[in-house]
Homo-oligomer: A and B are copies of this chain.
Amino acid sequence: MNIPDLAEKIVKQDRRALARAITLIESTKPEHRAQAAALMEALRRDDHQAVRIGLSGTPGVGKSTFIESFGMMLTGQGLRVAVLAVDPSSARSGGSILGDKTRMERLSRDPNAFIRPSPSQTHLGGVARRTREAVAVCEAAAFDAVLIETVGVGQSETVVAEMSDLFILLLAPAGGDELQGVKRGIMEMADLILINKADGDLKPAATRTCSDYAGALRLLRKRPQDPEGFPKALMVSAVEEHGLDKAWEEMTALTAWRRENGHFAGRRAEQARYWFEQEVRRGLLARLETPEAKAAMQEIAVKVADGEIVPSLAAQEMLQQIKG
């Protein structure tokens, strides 16, 4: 594959080149990994910058409908939108969050939108790397907004927050004990909480839920990366398409403030560092995944299980073998 040519086409917003690049990134073959790294390096100096928006919401909050309506609103304003997903569970279930594009029929036919389902890999680490690199490729392809969606499975929310400029929590209206349902750690990551389904019969419940969350957010310690009034809780209706423009205004205002105050670039630098460290750890542990290492590991593990050697000595023996 001609990497400089592929990079050039991506920058010229060639959709097929973009799709091919992401397929390359998703491959686990060593030669593809090397090409992918070269591509990332070729695109590094590109200075397009999208707003990277992480979006978390459990099934049932209307995430697909929200992404479709929100995405259409953005393309309606002349903006180009990419949608990616982090779903480590997709390998097991066979399908991925966005696998069924019919769920976002209008947006998927929009020439200014690009939708890519979650790759089917068992390890969150693999999904994370692929998505992080796909975000950078979409950015080089001059998308204005990149939405990265996730269901709240295990650590996937943290992973998405670590590759986003803004982290949005999408919730449905609920009863009074709803606050207990959202883990404190997730609340603390959110820049904006959107209560969806603020329409019809659910409007009163949405109003109450929104005010509950607004109150809860005020109780959190102020973060240096937030101007006065943030993080916020807002109501939206993806179905009736209202509140979406207001939500986008808030995102734009927050991003502008962070750019002015150095938090935008600062956060991206921190994230790059984080991913570098994660990749080093991942790469180191990958030495246990070669056929030879696996065979040695298995052989020693049997001895350990049989009580022929204690775990710590056995580990030392295994580590010697990996070194040699």
Which residues of A does B touch, CB under 8 Å?
Answer: 36-37, 40-41, 44, 129, 132-133, 136, 177, 180, 269-270, 272-273, 275-277, 279-285, 287-288, 297, 300-301, 304-307, 309-316, 318-319, 322
Contact B37 A305 (CB under 8 A): no
Contact among B136, B279, B285, B288 for A315, CB-based, below 8 A: B279
This protein's copies in its complex: 2
In the complex the two chains form, is B279's CB within 8 Å of A311's CB? yes
Which chain B residues lie closer than 8 Å to A288 at the CB level? 280-281, 284
| Alpha-carbon gap, A322 to B44, bound state (A) | 25
Residues in B whose Cβ lies below 8 Å from that of A316: 37, 283
Grouping DSSP codes into helix (H, G, I), strand (E, B) and loop, the A interface class, with mixed when no group exceeds half, is helix
B277, B282, B315: the one contacting A297 at CB < 8 Å is B277
- Interface pair B280/A312, CB less than 8 Å apart: no
Contact at B272–A311, with CB atoms within 8 Å?
yes
Could you tell me if B281 and A313 are in contact, using CB atoms closer than 8 angstroms? no
Contact A304–B273 (Cβ < 8 Å)? yes
- Pull 23 A–B residue pairs with CB atoms less than 8 Å apart, ordered by A: A37-B310, A37-B312, A40-B312, A40-B313, A44-B307, A132-B311, A177-B177, A270-B305, A272-B307, A272-B310, A272-B311, A276-B301, A276-B304, A276-B318, A277-B301, A281-B285, A283-B316, A283-B318, A284-B284, A284-B287, A284-B319, A284-B322, A285-B285
Bound-complex Cα distance A306 to B276 (A):
12
Whole-angstrom distance between the alpha carbons of A307 and B283 in the complex?
21
The distance from the CB of A52 to the nearest CB of chain B, in whole angstroms, is 15
Q: How far is the CB of A38 from chain B (nearest CB, A)?
A: 8
In the bound complex, how far is the Cα of B284 from the Cα of A133, in angstroms?
A: 26
Residue of chain B at shortest CB distance from A43: B310
Q: CB-CB < 8 A to A309: which residues of B?
A: 41, 44
Roughly how many angstroms separate A280 CA and B132 CA in the complex, as a whole number? 28
Bound Cα distance from A180 to B311, whole angstroms: 37
> Are the C-beta atoms of A272 and B41 separated by less than 8 Å?
no
| Given A36-B312, A277-B301, 14 additional A-B pairs, CB 8 A | A40-B310, A40-B313, A41-B310, A44-B309, A177-B177, A272-B310, A273-B305, A276-B301, A276-B311, A276-B318, A280-B319, A283-B318, A284-B288, A284-B322
- Contact indicator A297/B280 (Cβ below 8 Å): yes
Q: B305 contacts A275, CB within 8 Å?
A: no
A256–chain B nearest beta-carbon distance, Å: 21
CA–CA, A283 and B317, complex, Å: 11
A309 to B275 Cα, complex, angstroms? 12
